[in-house]
Structure 1
Amino acid sequence: MKLTRLTYYSQRNPSEKLDVDDLISVCQRNNNRQFLTGLLYFNGDHFLQVIEGGRVEVSALYHRIARDPRHSNIILLSCVDVRERLFPKWSMGLHQGMNDRTRDIFLRYFSTDEVNPETVDVESLLDVLQDLSAELVPTISKN
Structure 2
Amino acid sequence: MNLTRLVYYSQRNPSEKLDTQTLIETCQTNNARQNLTGILHYNGDHFLQVLEGGRVEVSALYHRISRDSRHANIILLSCADVRERMFSKWSMGLHQGMDERTREIYLRYFSTDNVNPETVNVDSLLDVLQDIAIEMAPSR
Within 1, Cα distance between the matches of 2:102 and 2:136?
12
| Structure 2 residue aligned with 1:45 | 45
Other structure's SS at 2:124 match? helix
State yes or no: 1:130 paired with 2:130: yes
| Structure 1 residue aligned with 2:9 | 9
1:21-32 map, 5 Å: 21-32=21-32
| Structure 2 residue aligned with 1:110 | 110
Within 1, Cα distance between the matches of 2:15 and 2:117?
22
Within 2, Cα distance between the matches of 1:56 and 1:19?
27
The letter for the 2-side match of 1:70 is R
**For the aligned residues, what is the CA RMSD?**
0.8
The letter for the 2-side match of 1:17 is K
Structure 1, unpaired ranges of 5+: 139-143
Within 1, Cα distance between the matches of 2:67 and 2:34?
19
Within 1, Cα distance between the matches of 2:108 and 2:71?
28
The letter for the 1-side match of 2:31 is N
Calculate the TM-score normalised by the size of structure 2: 0.97
Calculate the TM-score normalised by the size of structure 1: 0.95
Within 2, Cα distance between the matches of 1:88 and 1:3?
12
The letter for the 2-side match of 1:36 is L
Question: Residue deviations 1:2-41, cap 9 Å, x none?
Answer: 0000000000000000000000000000000000000000
